[in-house]
Structure 1
Amino acid sequence: MSNSPPTSTVEEDSDQQAETISAEELAAQVELLTEENQRLRDEYRRARQASHRRTALGMAGLGTLAGLGGILFPSSQSVLFALAGTGLFIAVLTYFLTPEQFVSAAVGERTYAAHAKTGAELIDSLGLSEHRLYLPTEKRPEESDGNGGIDGGIRLFVPHHREYGLPDSNQLKSMFVVTADERQRGITLPPTGAGLFDEFESMVDDPASELPELAAQLADALVEGFELVENATPEVDIDGEQVTIGISGSRYGGVKRFDHPVASFIAVGLAREMQQPVTLETTTTDDDRTDYVIRCSVGDNQADGQMDNQAIEQADNRVDGRRRGMFIPWSDDGRS
C-alpha cells in the first residue's frame, strides 16, 4: 500500500508555495524600484547642483587669473583687478545661491490639473456660464494688508447667466454671489495668477501703467521670468482696450482649462494695474507658430439691459438635472 500523499494536496501546497514566492519577489522588486527611483532623484539633483558649482568654479578661476594678470601687468592693473573682482563676486553668488531643490514642470502641471478639474466640475454642476471675468476688489493690495491676501486684490468671477452684470466689490468676498439682481449672481474664486503677479512685482521695479508696455512686460515674464511658455507674442488694440497674446510651448499643458496659470497671470496683471474688470477668453489656433490665443478685454463689458423672466427661467433650467442633493444659493430654494 502506497504512503504517498494525495496528488491534489501536493498540487495545492505547490500552488501556495508559488504564490508565496511570487508575493515575496514582487515585494522585493518594489523595494528595489523604490530605492532606484530615490537614487535617480538624488543623482539628478546632484547633477543640477554640480552644473551650478562648475560655473562658480569657472568664474572663480577667471577672477583669479585676472587678479594675477593685474599683478604681472601693472599697466592694465585697473581693468584686470575690476574683472577679477567681478569674477570672484559672481562665483560666490553662484555657489551659495545654488538651488537645493528643483520642481519639474510635470509636477507643477499635475498639481494645477487637480485645480482645473475641480473648477470645471463646479461650473458644470452649478450650470454656470462660459464667461470668465477678473474683477478688482474694493481695495488694492497695498491699501489693505500689504500683500493682498490669497487673491491679491483680484477675484475670478464666473456669472450664472450668459447675460450677466457685475456685482459690487463688497459682494466679491464670498464664494457664492447671491444678489437681488439675477444677472449678478455667480461664484468668485481666488485666481491662480494672483501669486504669480505678486512675484512679478518683485521682479520689476515698477510695472508699466500704459496698456502696451504692461502687456509686453507680462508676456516677457511668462517666457523669461517664470519660464511657463516658450514664446508669448502680445498685440494691443488701444482703442478697443483689448490685449491679445499668442502662446506656444506651454509647460503647464492646455491653456484653455479653467483658470490656467498662464492666462490667469495675464488677466490678473491687467486687472490689478488698470484697476478695471478684465474679460478673459482663450482659444486654440491652427497657426504653426502659436498654440493658443489669450484675449483680454479691459473695462466694463457686461451685457446691457435686464433679463426678462423667461430668460431667467431658461438659465435656471440648465441646472435642474444637477440640483438633487445639492444646495445652490440661487436655486428656487435659496432665492431671496
Structure 2
Amino acid sequence: MSQQQQSQPQSTADTNTSTTVDAGGEAEGDTELDERTTLAAQVELLQEENQRLRRAFSHARRTDYRRSATGLAILGVLAIGGAVLFSTVRTVLLALGATGLFAAVLSYYLTPERFVSAAVGEYVYAASVGNYDRLITELGLQETRLYIPTAHAGANASQQSARLFVPEHQEYTVPAREDLDSLLVLTDDLQERGAAFEPTGMELFREARQAIAGDIADEPDSLCSQLADAVVDVFELADSATTEVDGNDGRASIGITGSAYGAIDRFDHPVASLFGTGFALGLETPVTVEVTTGDDRADYLITCRWELDEHEEQ
C-alpha cells in the first residue's frame, strides 16, 4: 500500500506538468497565428495603398494634361474672339486661335493612359542582362560586341535589321549574314562560331528613323549627331551626349551623362546598342562597340569602330 500511495502523487504531478506544457504550447501557437494574421493584414493594406497611390499619380498626370488642353482651348477661343473685335490684327489672332485649338485637341486626345517610370525599365533590363551574361559565360564567348547589318540600310524601315554577334574565339571572322539568323552560329569555320542576338537598339533605331526629319545620314559625323539627338531628345535615355568622330580612322566616341537605365557598360545596353545598330545600318558595315567608365566630362564613354573601304582609306 505504501508503494501505491507513493506512486499516485507522482502520476498526478506528471499530469499537471503535461497540462501546463500543452497550455503553454497552445498559447505560443495562438501568438504566432495572431502575428501572421496581423502581418498578412498589414501586407494587404500596403498593397492596397500602393495601388491607390499609383492610381492617384496617374490621375494627377492626366489631370495636368487635361488642364493644359483646357488652357489652350480657352486661349484659342479668346484669340478668335479678339480677331472679330480687332480687325487690324485679325490675321495674327486667327492664326493664334487656330494653333491653340489644334494644340488643345492634341493634348486632350493624346494624353498617355499609362506611365512607366525609368526604374521599371531598369529592373526589366537588369533581369534580362543577367540572363545574357550567364548564357555568354556558359558558352565561353568573348567580350567582343559586333553589330552586323543583315539587310540593306537604304531599304524600307520595316526591312532593316541587324544582329549582335559575340564570337567564340578571340581571333574571329565575321560570319555570313545568313548564318546570323540562328541564336548559335555553328559554321564549319571555327573562327566564325559564336552567338547572334537581336540588338536592343534595333527597334529604337527604327523609331528614331521615323522621328528624324529626312533620311538617316550615311556619313559618320552626321549619323553620330542624329543618333545622339535620338538618345537625348527622342527617347530621353540620357541627359546629354557629346560626340567626337574620326572618319579617317573609322572611329566614333560618345560621352554619355545621366543614363536613365543605369550603367551603360553592361551587355547590349539600350544606349550603346542604339549607336552600334545605327552605325552598322547607316554605314552598312560591321561595327564593334566598347564601353568604358568615363571621367569628369562624362559618366561613360562609348567607342564605335568600323573598317574603312579601300577608297575611303585613300
* Normalised TM-score (structure 2): 0.88
| 1:106 alignment counterpart | 119
Q: 1:233, 1:247 within 8 Å by CA — same for their partners in 2? A: yes
- The alpha-carbon deviation at position 194 of structure 1 amounts to 0.3
The Cα shift of 1:12 comes to 2.1
Q: Deviations over 1:135-155 (max 9, x none)?
A: 111x337759x723xxx5101
Corresponding residue for residue 165 of structure 1: 173
User: Deviations for 1:238-279, whole angstroms, at most 9, x for unmatched residues?
Assistant: 101211100010011110101111000001011111110101
| Whole-angstrom CA distance in 2 between matches of 1:9 and 1:173 | 69
Q: Shift in Å at residue 182 of structure 1?
A: 2.1
| C-alpha contact 2:153 2:282 (8 A) present in aligned 1 | no
**In structure 1, how many angstroms separate the alpha carbons of the residues matched to 2:267 and 2:53?**
34
Q: 2:222 aligns with which of 175, 189, 213?
A: 213
Runs of 4 or more consecutive aligned structure 1 residues displaced over 3 Å after TM superposition = 141-144
2:181 alignment partner, SS class:
coil
Structure 1 stretches lacking a partner, 5+ long: 302-336
Q: Which residue of 2 aligns with 1:72?
A: 85
The answer to whether the 8 Å contact 2:72/2:101 transfers is yes
Distance apart, 1:118 and its partner CA: 1.5
Is 1:180 paired with 2:188? yes
Question: Looking at CA atoms only, which structure, 1 or 2, has the larger radius of gyration?
Answer: 2
Unaligned residue ranges in structure 2 (runs of 5+):
1-11, 310-314
TM-score normalised to structure 1 length: 0.83
> How many percent identity over aligned positions?
47
Over residues 59-102 of structure 1, what are the superposed CA-to-partner deviations in whole Å (9 max), with x where a residue is unaligned?
A: 11211221221122122111111111111110111111000001
Q: How many Å separate the matches in 2 of 1:46 and 1:198? A: 32
Q: Structure 1 CA distance, aligned partners of 2:130 and 2:153?
A: 29
> Counterparts of 1:189-268 in structure 2 under 5 Å?
189-204=197-212, 205-268=214-277
Is contact 2:253–2:302 with CA below 8 Å preserved after alignment?
Answer: yes
Q: Which residue matches 2:36?
A: 23
Structure 2 letter corresponding to 1:140:
H
State the one-letter code of the partner of 1:130. E
> Does structure 2 conserve the Cα–Cα contact (< 8 Å) formed by 1:277 and 1:300?
no
Aligned-partner Cα distance in 2 for 1:9–1:122: 55
Counterpart residue type for residue 72 of structure 1: L
2: distance between equivalents of 1:30 and 1:199?
Answer: 41
Which residue is equivalent to 1:321?
A: none
1:288: Cα distance to partner?
2.1
Per mean C-alpha deviation after superposition, the further-off stretch among 83-92 and 14-23 is: 14-23
Residue 299 of structure 1, CA deviation: 2.5
- Count matched residues: 295
Say which is worse superposed, 106-115 or 215-224, in terms of deviation. 106-115
1:282 equivalent to 2:285? Answer no
Residue 10 (1) aligns with residue 23 (2): yes
